[in-house]
Amino acid sequence: MDELIRVMTSPTQEVEVGKTFRVTLEISNTFGWIGNVQVVFNQYGESPSIVKQMKKEEENDGISMYCAEVQFDRLGNYFFFFSLEINGEAKAIKISRKTNQPELMYSWDESPYWRELVIQQGFEVPEWSQDAIAYQVFIDRFCKGGKAQGTQQGRQYRVWEDFPDWHRNSNGQFHNNDFFCGNIEGICEKLEYLKSLSVDIVYLSPINESLYRYERYASTNHMEIDPDAGTFEDLDKLHKKANEMGMHVILDIAFNHCSSDNPIFKEAMSNPNSKYRDWFYINGNSYICWYGIFTDMPIFNQNSKDYQDYVYGENGVVAKFAPYVDGFRLDLASELQPFVLEGIRNRANQYGKHLILGEYWHKVPVGILGKGLDCPTNYPFTDAILKFVAFGRGSDFVGKIYDVLESYPKKTIDTMFNSLDTHDMMRAITILSLKCVRDEPDRIWEIDKEGSRWHVVRNGRGEFLTDDFRQFEFDNDKLRKEEYDLATRRLKVAVILQYFLPGIPCTFYGTEVGLHGFKDPFNRKCFPWNEEDQDKELLSFYQEIGKFRKLYHGAGSSFEVLYADQDVFIFERRNETNSVFVAVNRGKQRRYVDVPEDFKGDVKTFTLNANTDQNYLEPYGGMIILK
């Protein structure tokens, strides 16, 4: 009889905290006398976390079966292997690096362990959020609807076709007082357009009152809507119309800080006895501001009970806006305390199940998911996709994808937002033109990171040449035809990955018609509603892949990379409803691919420079096979 080792666990790779996790080890008696069988669990930084003696439950046909049950009291990944004695000698069972199967080895041999993710109990997300396609609207620059006219004193109002102002103002400061008057009514007028992109989630930038900041990330009154953005009546109309069309609305809002022009902050600064004094970190005439340099953004003291009540109390900001939207995107969620995130989520869900999306530039601690947040802005995927399409290095791509997928609950994986560009980074088309991308950036869009050409040392001190950098961005904003054509060919490959990797694909307004640009404000141009200024072929591609994505129901799917090299990346996702096979070629040579037999025959296909009959991908090609 062949020697045999078999490991069986609970049906999924995740278990709720406090629930019973059962693990079974079957091992052939041909190894010899077996004794002292234990399963050993580890979390990072602990060795071990839990050791459980396994009980021999039965023996059939020379196979002994050992079982153990464990309840985890902490969230996160647990890694486990088996410790045992064979003929009195200490051994271990771990995963073979060669075969990916259980293997008997010496206890000190290094080899991978099994993994189990412990998640929050009762973690649920809105049903409508799974298998959704999202679209990020930057309100001031998307569409100017109705008879919108700027009416606020002190604002710099612009003509829609103008280029964003990137110069210093008369005080020598870079400003955000550059209003084009895009508004909620304009979004409402363009819902049919969004529907043509198969959009399910309309993700709005902040709309709170903000005196001189067009992007409204530093509010002068969180409780009210900025007059140039619209009214609660407008928001109610947008929400109802979107819902009638099968779409949902989520609203971005910043609770980490406010504007230095906020009357609450002004009173706190001027009156040491003010009831708002403990809302901030004030010391005499100084205060703590965002990032230590943005003095117009004083940060809140989240430990203040009155601040907490203001944000998520019974009559707070969340309670006021929740009836008008289906979810919130929390700006700088990584800076918000877990109890604040939980308070926001709990309050919002009193008005129906809301999707709570948090801004994170790295992975989210699993303890926050299902309690404070449902899902993150998945920037690790953004960087991984763009780097693969731009540079290759498929093995790095594989590692980054699995790192995320093994760290999150399935509900989070199904709803994390996968963008190729956002308001906080360069446009994807500009990135993929490789006009100014460093060879080894931490993130591919960080062209101004420490060590760039704009970092100099003067009088023994480091200095960033902001004016020179912005001049470079302006001078290089326009792409030559060959640069644009190559960038959009690469973009389409990236979009295939974005739309079919696990998560919610999210398009930043205007990328689908060719908007490009470097960092803020060059990535925030007005949407070119004049059709002559749109890339119609690119728009058609987005519309067609959106329709195809709606055919696929990927929630709860498994994920497996089938092949990866410097140019070709192939994966499949499977569940009980349907399965999808995806292959892309970011290289310059035709490549043939091995399509699994069960993805042949009665299937639906989407191709980009590819042939599914002869199974090859042309340069910058892709194929999607759905069964």
One DSSP character per residue, 453-506 reads: TTEEEETTEEEE-HHHHHHHHHHT-SPPHHHHHHHHHHHHHHHHHHHHSSSEEE
Per CATH, the number for 127-256+300-549 is 3.20.20.80
pLDDT at residue 439, as a whole number: 65
Give the span between the Cα atoms of 224 and 592, in whole angstroms.
57
Instruction: Convert the pLDDT of each residue in 453-472 to its tens digit.
Output: 899 988 888 899 999 999 99
Which residue, 312, 393, 324, 382, is CA-closest to 352?
Answer: 324
Written as six digits, the tokens of 406 are 């093994």
Q: Are strands 63-71 and 55-60 parallel, antiparallel or unpaired?
A: antiparallel
CATH architecture of 5-119: Sandwich (2.60)
SS3 label, residue 319: helix
Q: Which residues contact 142 (CB under 8 A, 6 or more apart)?
A: 182, 186, 187, 190, 509, 526, 527
| pLDDT on residue 5 | 86
pLDDT of residue 553: 95
Q: What is the pLDDT of residue 108?
A: 87
Which residues lie closer than 8 Å to 574 by C-beta, 6 or more apart? 557, 558, 560
- Which residues are CB-contacts of 81 (< 8 A; sequence separation ≥ 6)? 39, 40, 92, 93, 94, 113, 114
Positions in the chain short of pLDDT 50: 1-2
Question: Among all chains, which residue has been given the structure tokens 């990032």?
Answer: 291
The domain 257-299 having CATH identifier 3.30.390: the answer here is no
Closest C-alpha to 220, from 229, 208, 233, 207: 208
Residue 404 CA to residue 503 CA, distance in Å, equals: 11
On whether the CB atoms of residues 568 and 583 are closer than 8 A, the answer is yes
Kindly write down the DSSP assignment for every residue of 340-371, as one continuous string. HHHHHHHHHTBTB--EEEE--SSPPPGGGBTT
Token pair, residue 361, equals 């530039």
How far, in Å, CA of 535 to CA of 428, rounded?
Answer: 15
pLDDT at 343: 98
Element housing 31 (H / E): none
How far, in Å, CA of 102 to CA of 93, rounded? 6
For residue 254, the SS3 value is strand
What amino acid is encoded at 29 in this protein?
N
* Burial of residue 606, with CB atoms counted within 10 A of its CB: 0-12 exposed, 13-18 middle, 19 or more buried: buried
Side chain identity at residue 519, one-letter code:
K
Instruction: Give the number of other CB atoms < 10 A from CB of residue 536.
Output: 11
Q: What is the pLDDT of residue 3?
A: 61
The token pair at 123 is 């973690």
The span from the CA of 613 to the CA of 615, in Å, is: 6
Torsion of Cα atoms, 354 then 338 then 419 then 379, to 10°: -170
Contact in structure between 119 and 17 (CB atoms under 8 Å): yes
* Structure-block tokens of residue 434: 């490789």
Cβ proximity of 121 and 18 under 8 Å: yes
DSSP 616: E
Render the burial of 267-291: b for 16+ CB within 10 Å, e for the rest.
Answer: ebbeeeebebeebbebeeeebebbe
Domain-wise residue ranges, the chain: 5-119, 127-256+300-549, 257-299, 558-626
CA separation for the pair 276, 274 (Å, rounded): 5
Whole-Å CA distances, 326 to 241, 321, 502 = 13, 10, 22
Topology of domain 558-626, CATH:
Immunoglobulin-like (2.60.40)
Neighbours of 412 (CB within 10 A): 25
Q: Which residues pair with 63 in a beta bridge?
A: 28, 60
Element (H, E) at 249: strand 248-254
**451/2 Cα distance (integer angstroms):** 59
Tell me if 5-119 shares its fold with 558-626. Answer: yes
The vertex-472 CA angle with 362 and 180, nearest 5°, equals: 75
Q: Are 491 and 499 in contact (CB under 8 A)?
A: no
CB 406 within 8 A of CB 118: no
Q: Is the peptide bond before 112 cis (omega within 30 degrees of 0)?
A: no
Least Cα distance to 509 among 185, 248, 254, 134 occurs for: 134
For residue 517, the Cα-to-chain-centroid distance in whole angstroms is 21
